[in-house]
Amino acid sequence: MRRGEHLAGWLLTLPAAIAFVALLLLPTLAAVTLAFTDYELGAWPPAWIGFDNFREMWTDRGFGQSFRNTVLYVAIVAPASVLGGLGLALLIESAARGRMFFRAVFFLPVVSLTVAMASAWQYLLHPTIGPVNALLGGLGLGGPAWLSSSDTVLLSLAFIGVWEAVGFNMVLFMAGLTAIPKELREAAAVDGARTAWDRFRLVTWPLLGPTTLFVVTISLIRSVRVFDTVAVLTRGGPNRASETLLYTMYTEGFTFLRLGYSAAITLVFLVIVLGLMLLQTRVLDRRVHYG
């Protein structure tokens, strides 16, 4: 090992290392520690209360509701945006005409300001002046109060979530599809895979395995993080019907200033995210291996 190289290695890594420790490592450890205290902003010093925050969470009906809402939201948004993204990618890649145009159209929500587009959706879904209900009324159907009824609010937010995520997944699938050699599908056709469905089932789908696993994981993690649309459109309401994990963490921590409890919710959130990543590695190790 040359001395200059050794020194340069450390010099070049040092700024990043300092920032990493100060802005990521220590704060994360602090968040984990805070989760076991009763820390409230302004009340120093906090007391160590062990698992009390987690016990409170377990009995807190508000948190239970928030947890269930998040699970339901993820259960809708992740599968719908993965399947939708796959469908769009296959459809767009199946011919050359309009490929660039449609890719741009479906990708547009990814680069758009979520807060603003959520507001646009709120106008579209407005119970009295919204075009969606005007259209339904024109067809003789009465539309629900989408974002202001506790029956439909989560569904409406999930719809906006799918709208936002589907183009992102589409692009990832398109990248995966272009990596599959065309000759393989042609060879399958020669070998008797007559219909497009057969060729998809026998060639495209298995070879798309690693991409799919990646897209599924990323969709799960991104939808667990739902925050913007909730904070802007519903603030968890009506009646906590759209309260989600990160929004509860935000209100507990930054509205009620119960930072200990908020940190405990953050820890639950972190464990869920880590669990999803672990699941991905497990599946990756076991299933998706091709030469």
> Could you give the angle at the alpha carbon of 41 between the alpha carbons of 35 and 43, nearest 5°?
95
The per-residue DSSP string of 87-106 comes to HHHHHHHT-STTHHHHHHHH
Q: Which of 28, 55, 68, 181: binder of another protein (CB under 8 A)?
A: 28
Considering the rule CB under 8 A, would residue 200 count as an interface residue with another protein? yes
Residue 75 gets which letter from DSSP?
H
Question: Shortest gap between Cβ of 233 and another protein (angstroms)?
Answer: 9
Considering the rule CB under 8 A, would residue 91 count as an interface residue with another protein? yes
Considering the rule CB under 8 A, would residue 128 count as an interface residue with another protein? yes
Report the distance separating Cα 103 and Cα 249, nearest Å. Answer: 36
Considering the rule CB under 8 A, would residue 163 count as an interface residue with another protein? yes
Considering the rule CB under 8 A, would residue 246 count as an interface residue with another protein? yes
Q: 266 Cβ partners below 8 Å, 6+ apart?
A: 31, 35, 249
Report the distance separating Cα 40 and Cα 192, nearest Å. Answer: 68
Considering the rule CB under 8 A, would residue 27 count as an interface residue with another protein? yes
Per rule CB under 8 A, count of chain residues that contact another protein: 103
Considering the rule CB under 8 A, would residue 255 count as an interface residue with another protein? no
Q: Which residue has the tokens 């003789």?
A: 140
Q: 45 Cβ partners below 8 Å, 6+ apart?
A: none
Question: Shortest gap between Cβ of 8 and another protein (angstroms)?
Answer: 3
Q: Which of 78, 92, 216, 241: binder of another protein (CB under 8 A)?
A: 92
Q: Which of 85, 143, 161, 167: binder of another protein (CB under 8 A)?
A: 167
Considering the rule CB under 8 A, would residue 271 count as an interface residue with another protein? no
Considering the rule CB under 8 A, would residue 225 count as an interface residue with another protein? yes
Q: Which of 68, 187, 277, 287: binder of another protein (CB under 8 A)?
A: 277
Considering the rule CB under 8 A, would residue 23 count as an interface residue with another protein? yes
Q: Which of 43, 83, 104, 187: binder of another protein (CB under 8 A)?
A: 104
Q: Which two tokens stand for residue 11?
A: 């010099």
The per-residue DSSP string of 155-192 comes to HHHHHHHHHHHHHHHHHHHHHHHHTS-HHHHHHHHHTT
Considering the rule CB under 8 A, would residue 43 count as an interface residue with another protein? no
Considering the rule CB under 8 A, would residue 150 count as an interface residue with another protein? no
